[in-house]
Structure 1
Amino acid sequence: MSVRPTNTPPARTVSAPAEYDTEFRNLLDRLSDKATAEYYNPFTTFDWPTSIPTDELWMSPELLSVHGTELMDELSPAQLRTLSRWESVNFYSLNVHGIRELLIEVTRRVHTPGFELPSEFFHHFIGEENDHMWFFATFCLKYAGKIYPDKSVKLPETPRDPDIENFLVFARILVFEQIVDHYNVQMAADHRLHPTVRHINRLHHQDESRHIAFGCRLVQLLWERLLDRGLDEAARHDLRSYLGRYLTTSIESLYNPAVYRDAGLPDGFALRKRLLVHPDRQAAHTKVLHKTTRFLNRIGVLDARH
């Protein structure tokens, strides 16, 4: 689920039409005002309990990587609670790694040519994402004693075209945020979970709703600018293929053999392979990615076959 940095410096982005700038500026002003009004200090907001009971669920059962499969029925309630604990730690670990890398990418673009308009909002974005990385890492270290290492597959480098690279960076960030938000929304509302778990997910969703609104508009603008520049069909095919692979690797990062090992399930790599191709898990992936694929289809990045 990680957003990989590259060594290519961003170049000037093609200027948007004046009406885009006006509409985008109004959106940025609204989001910045909302960020200011909803600001919280993460270091004083959380009242971290000494421990979170291990005989409780740490993740909604419907979000577990075994949900809908035969294994869900085969595991005892105690085993499912243990699995939920380690899958939640994996989820927060993925957030730590993904946020670290998106911060690198956004920071490299703040106050650079072509990003003058969103740079003010970038400061809200950077500050909030830094807070998120801190409280996800704190949860993992305080209650599990570790952060799972980043095992994400690095996709091949994209063409060294700065406009394409800018588009792909923010498209990847949007994919990451929308996948995470799917989990946040469900866990924030799940009263079977510990209040601290619900609190973390609620706060993250509160901020991510702004980031996603911003990301959708920015990705659309960057895509439209690529089209205005004259993006040929071969380049469009390459972009679709790249983002399709990124969607796949993002989902696959939720299936961690180390989680299955820590939960006491045998042969985690074989289990991961079996779960990834299970029809009910494939349907779950479609549900998780629905908002993202619908958006990318609507603006013409993907097509109906994705």
Structure 2
Amino acid sequence: MVSELINSDRRFLDILDRLTTKSIDDYYNPYRLFEWPESLPEQMWWMSPELTTIHGTSLEGSLTEQQRFTLSKYESVNFYSLNVHGIRELLIEVTRRIHAKGFETPSEFFHHFIGEENEHMWFFAEFCLRYGGKIYRQPAGASVETAKTSAESLLVFARILIFEELVDHFNSRMALDDRLHETIRALNRIHHQDESRHIAFGRELVTVLWADVRRTATEEELTAVSEYLRRYMTYSFESLYNPQVYRDAGLADPLAVREELLASPARPAFEQSVFRKTSKFLEKIGIVR
């Protein structure tokens, strides 16, 4: 039924065709594109300060400028590490579906998607290893498989969309922030360029998959989908608050720092800003209540 819905949806087919063509036209070689300086300055922002987990909190005011610079370095490495892990998981799921029953039509775009995401994973990993000396470990629970239900593919692609929209919120802002080193801006600029296509595709595919699930699902099952995605959004956001980051930045009792920041009055507004567009879309199509 999914393939029938896709093939009868003229809007989806037109958008798919345009995005596939744009993937071809915008192709670049990342292995030749980036210039990697030997090191990046320690006395500057590595992430826009407004995007750090301490922004607007009491902890922010208690740190020196250099401490805030250092924290932004490790928060940026954590952010790109999350990209590496998230991309690996989405590549596994998309590869399982390429040329599979129900996904014949978008499979050509999947080939471009897989190629682009593999290259993204490479340049994010390259940044982490060159300038942070590590890729932070994957957060606990991140690789738990989606339950095998009639909504499995919907949940997989909704998760991918949520992940991509969270990442793009950061990319689009850091790409334009002249307080950041050009290498960091370029990394975010290139990723934002590709993610804009992926998000456009993801929204259309999730809409079609949601229509398919809604035909036969019970009210209880629809509620379960909504609650699952709400939990996943919260989990994704809280992955930004990594105690290993606070430890590497030299802050005492990193677990207590994480708890303090998650409980901060600044946290809800930060989370809302990150997922403003995502929540609006998911609520508009009715998948999240």
TM-score bracket for the superposition, by shorter chain length: over 0.9
Give yes or no for the alignment of 1:222 onto 2:209: yes
Contact 1:188 1:198 in 2 (8 A): yes
Give yes or no for the alignment of 1:179 onto 2:161: no
Q: Which residue of 1 aligns with 2:152?
A: 165
What's the secondary structure of 1:117's corresponding residue?
Answer: coil
Contact 1:185 1:205 in 2 (8 A): yes
CA shift, 1:19, in A, is: 3.6
Map 1:288-299 → 2, pairs under 5 A: 288-299=274-285
The total of aligned residue pairs comes to 289
Alignment gaps of 5+ in structure 1 = 1-11
Contact 2:77 2:135 in 1 (8 A): yes
Give yes or no for the alignment of 1:241 onto 2:230: no
Counting aligned pairs with the same residue, the percent is 56
Contact 1:56 1:193 in 2 (8 A): yes
Contact 2:125 2:135 in 1 (8 A): yes
What's the secondary structure of 1:183's corresponding residue?
Answer: helix
RMSD, aligned CA:
1.4
TM-score, structure 1 as length reference: 0.92
Q: Which residue of 2 aligns with 1:30?
A: 18
Q: 1:160 to 1:138 in 2, by over 3 A?
A: same
In the alignment, residue 276 of structure 1 is paired with which amino acid? L
What's the secondary structure of 1:279's corresponding residue?
Answer: coil
Q: Which residue of 2 aligns with 1:128?
A: 116
Contact 1:14 1:225 in 2 (8 A): no
The correspondence for 2:5, drawn from 5, 10, 16, is 16
Distance 2:36 2:172 in 1: 21
Distance 1:106 1:18 in 2: 19
Alignment gaps of 5+ in structure 2 = none
In the alignment, residue 76 of structure 2 is paired with which amino acid? S
Distance 1:187 1:109 in 2: 33
TM-score, structure 2 as length reference: 0.97
Map 1:77-116 → 2, pairs under 5 A: 77-116=65-104
Map 1:198-277 → 2, pairs under 5 A: 198-228=185-215, 230-277=216-263
What's the secondary structure of 1:79's corresponding residue?
Answer: helix
CA shift, 1:13, in A, is: 3.7
CA shift, 1:23, in A, is: 2.1
Q: 1:156 to 1:91 in 2, by over 3 A?
A: closer
CA shift, 1:15, in A, is: 2.5
Q: Which residue of 2 aligns with 1:286?
A: 272
